[in-house]
Amino acid sequence: TTTFVLSGIPYEEDIESVRVNGGETTAYSYDEESGTMIFTSAPGNGVDITIKYDGNIRRLSPSNVWSKI
């Protein structure tokens, strides 16, 4: 399991979809209190993670938005 810190996504129910390298996944959980997303399998280095939430789409990349704990 790999945990990533996210910002700007306050509630799990706001998350509409999560995609890793273009493929939708449900193999994660989200902790609203700490703002962390926990993937069942660690995404590979340099993969694109796209989160659609509350009508917005955010593309995350390991170099600028999420950070491994």
Whether 11 has a pLDDT exceeding 50, the answer reads yes
CA distance 69 to 15: 21
CA distance 7 to 67: 10
How would residue 4 be classed by pLDDT, with cut points 50, 70 and 90? confident
Closest to 52 in 3D by CA, of 16, 27, 22, 28: 16
pLDDT of residue 64: 46
For residue range 13-68, list pLDDT tens digits in order. 888 999 998 999 999 998 888 888 889 988 887 788 888 888 888 776 554 445 44
How would residue 69 be classed by pLDDT, with cut points 50, 70 and 90? very low
